[in-house]
Amino acid sequence: MDIHKNARLTLRSREALVQEMLRGMTLKRAMARFNVTAKTVAKWVSRYRAEGAAGLLDRSSRPRHSPRRIPPFLATRVVELRRQNRPAYEIAQTTGLSAANRRKVPELRASRAMSAPGKPKPIAKK
Q: Are residues 20 and 51 in the same domain?
A: yes
Per-residue pLDDT, 23: 95
In a domain? residue 106 = yes
- pTM value is 0.53
User: Cα 19 to the chain's mean position, in Å?
Assistant: 31
In a domain? residue 102 = yes
In a domain? residue 6 = no
pLDDT digits (tens, 9 = 90+) for 1-51: 566 666 778 889 999 999 999 999 999 999 999 999 999 999 999 999 999
Find the domain containing 43 and state its range: 11-56
Provide the domain count of the chain.
2
